Amino acid sequence: MALGFFDQFLSPTHLGIPLILIAMVFPWILYPSPSNRWLNNRLVTLQGQFFNRFTQQLLLPLNQGGHKWALILMSLMVFLLSMNMLGLLPYTFTPTTQLSLNMGFAVPFWLATVIIGMRNQPTAALGHLLPEGTPVLLIPVLIIIETISLFIRPIALGVRLTANLTAGHLLIQLIATAISVLMASMTTVALLTFAVLLLLTILEVAVAMIQAYVFVLLVSLYLQENV
């Protein structure tokens, strides 16, 4: 049976049981847990330094009230980064290529920031819908535009992550298919295409890391507006 290019994005099942849960839980097994010793090994120390540096960078623009989100934002970053990176391995499934999963992350986080802003500072939260000094005639139009842009934020979060990862996986599969076709007839062109594939794979590793960071960074920026 010939498989299409988009079949790699189908959620895998075994005996009718969806395996996406295993793909989501498996990355957490790979991270070492700190021990009760005074000195940990190099891997745990490096992991802790990365977490500390990233948390400091992420919470830099936030005030003291936003620091309570440090743990959940760091966990989200590690979770997205792990799934994006493991999805680049052969014969693996990338859960973050599913729009439903990404929207399941984007909508609750965005809604939480909006609710926090409406509860703590409703005047300032509603003030974002109307910039200061707006002409009277443009007030209804700007309120509608800002309201639409507010509700588009979670859609943009989910679609951005899905589209970037899906496009990268499709490009890798297209170039790999071209290599297999050209290998028998044009070996030199196939080797050059293979070099392009290696460069694209390195680019996709960078995209996987950047997209996880951008997702969490935008959530922190939404939080900054409301705390």
Dihedral Cα 90, 199, 174, 23, nearest 10 deg? 30
Which amino acid appears at position 82 of this protein? S
pLDDT at res. 174? 87
Query: For the chain, give me the number of helices (H) and strands (E)?
Result: 7, 2
* Interval 142-177: pLDDT, tens: 888 888 988 999 999 999 999 999 888 888 888 888
Q: Is the pLDDT of residue 8 over 70?
A: no
pTM: 0.83
Q: Which residue has the higher pLDDT, 7 or 159?
A: 159
Which amino acid appears at position 192 of this protein? L
Boundaries of every domain in the chain: 7-226
Give 34's pLDDT tier (boundaries 50, 70, 90): low
In 10 A of CB 158, how many CB atoms?
23
* Interval 189-199: pLDDT, tens: 888 988 998 99
Q: Which residue has the higher pLDDT, 16 or 81?
A: 81
pLDDT at res. 142? 84
